[in-house]
Chains A and B, each alone.
Chain A
Amino acid sequence: MSDALSIVSREAVLSPSPRKSVRAGEITSETELIREAQAGSRAAFDALVRQHDQAVLRLALHLTGSEQDAQDIHQEAFLKAYKSLANFRFECSFYTWIYRIVTNLCLDLMRRRKARREEQAVMIDAAGGEMDLLVNVSDDRAGANPDRELERKQLGRHIMDALEKLTPRERMVFELKHFQGLRLRTIGEMLNTTEETAKNTLFRATKKLRANLAGVR
């Protein structure tokens, strides 16, 4: 058990966090870029966009599952940032600030979609026999075995279905924690809430996901 804990903590440290990778010199140059952009320099703003737009696009793509929507969110987020850059007061990192804009846009989109889906009525129940997916799962990703590959694709689809069943907020917290590797404190800042609320939301999200995936064959 303690082995499992130690593995988890090591992985958590190794998980890529854009904030951690930023060195002191880069922070200084980013601050200068922000100040120049605030003073009206388009080139400085373009440089800021280049620093963050790939991560933004990745998050949006995963949350929306649609390239078109991801592009829309990418564009809208940076436009919004460009127009309201003068209000940025260095109270948090620029990364947190831009993610706050992105997560808000994504949450809006997800809420709209959820509302549409609920209106569309009948959910198809694809349940046959039951299989305890979670305990049999393997971490081996180099799947040369075609059966294993198919299994993984199915699993991926089930995971996406399970994620879709979360509330937009639960989905957002889970995505930012699991896929982006952000600290819950940062996630709380991005979503304008407390770390404690973010913890509870993560707890609920994992519980729901387990429940949704436990019934998958």
Chain B
Amino acid sequence: MKLIIKNLKKNFDKKEVLKNINFEFEKGKIYGLLGRNGAGKTTLFNCLNEDLPIDDGEFFLKDKEVRKIEAEDIGYVLSTPNVPEFLTGREFLKFFIEINKDRIKDEKTIDEYFDFMKIEKEDRDKLLKDYSHGMKNKMQMLVNIIANPSILLFDEPLTSLDIVVQEEMKQMLKSIKKDHIIIFSTHIMELALDLCDEIVILNKGILEKIDKNDLDNTKFKDKIIEALKEE
């Protein structure tokens, strides 16, 4: 399965934020999306998630046949976790499982999902408003994964997590990548190099893949920075 973007354009007033995006993202890979501040990474995600209308171009899914991306196809994890604070973790999961019943393959019990996300037993029946930032983040990721969307967009989701949780999340993402197209935006170069299979940079409104070829990590890093600096 592929996510194909063709000639995508997005302007804010006269500023062309996304100039002419052409790219194919494949299932089974984690794409690290790098870009300088204000490069348009979040705008690209917002366009793909249809939070923002695009000015031109198209994007679609191609498996055996080409089809439009539906709401159920996308999971979008924001850097600031947003969870309904009046529910407990268990209730939130129950609700999400019920509304996604038709799409969930090999449905597990709620506690199995909690185990998968390493959420402690004593926290499962607490109100989400009493969860820590890291736990809220885990819940946000979990419900997006449970829904089993084809595309997972992660907008700097690990930046504010402690290193233990970061490592847990990295392993979790690696374990689910075979069934999804994962695009992961980050500012942390090491994280991108460690986690992602492909590095894609968004610079001057254009999306381009940076090939690693036979470079070691230091040289590859330099190459990425050079590409980001390019006028």
A binds B: no
Binding site for B on A (CB under 8 A): none
